Amino acid sequence: MRIGELAAKAGTTTRTLRYYESRGLLPARRAVNGYREYDEDDLQLLRQIRTLQDFGFDLEETRPFVDCLRAGHPAGDSCPASLAVYRRKLAELDGLIDRLTDVRQQVARQLATAERAVAELAAGAEAPGGPEPRCEFDR
């Protein structure tokens, strides 16, 4: 199949395919007439790359999966190098989750503090430093 057909089947653009080719992720085979030629194996490579990118993997992180498929394995994640990338990505995600959990707790504490201050003001207590300023939206 030619580049336009492959792009359509993979749900991407010919520009993206040329970029993958330049990065060595997609083989650059040419017909006698100079047109790029692709087959179903190339479509499988593209689907693997796109799936991993949808999961948040950067393009270079997809390389071991592509290499695994090119080596003739039935799945891109059946090689040790691919498993190592999965492990690194999981560790990265765990770190992000931990950081987001910390940020969420800080925001929740700040909200609770702000809500207490608003409740005290509504109950008639004077704000520290003088009377409560009026909000421009409270009219």
Does pLDDT of 135 surpass 80? no
Return the pLDDT at 93: 95
Q: pLDDT, tens digit, for every residue of 9-32?
A: 999 999 999 999 999 999 888 888
Dist CA 84 CA 104 (whole Å) = 30
Q: Is 3-122 CATH 3.20.20.10?
A: no
Alpha-carbon gap, residue 92 to 11, rounded angstroms: 28
Measured at the CA of 16, the angle between CA 11 and CA 19, to 5 degrees, comes to 155
Answer yes or no: pTM beyond 0.75. Answer: no
- Report whether 26 contacts 20 (CB < 8 A): yes
**Tokens coding 1:** 């199949």
* Contact partners, residue 11, CB within 8 Å, separation at least 6: 50
For 116, the token pair is 């207490």
34 pLDDT more than 90: no
In this prediction, residue 121 carries a pLDDT of 87
pLDDT digits (tens, 9 = 90+) for 83-134: 999 999 999 999 999 999 999 999 999 999 999 999 888 887 555 555 556 6
pLDDT recorded at residue 14: 93
* pLDDT for the residue numbered 128: 59
**Which pLDDT band, with edges at 50, 70 and 90, does 65 fall under?**
very high
Contact 76, 65 (CB under 8 A): yes
What's the pLDDT score for residue 88?
Answer: 96
> Mind giving me the DSSP string for 16-43?
HHHHHHHTTSS---B-TTS-B---HHHH
Spans of all domains in the chain: 3-122
Q: What value does the mean pLDDT take over residues 39-50?
A: 93
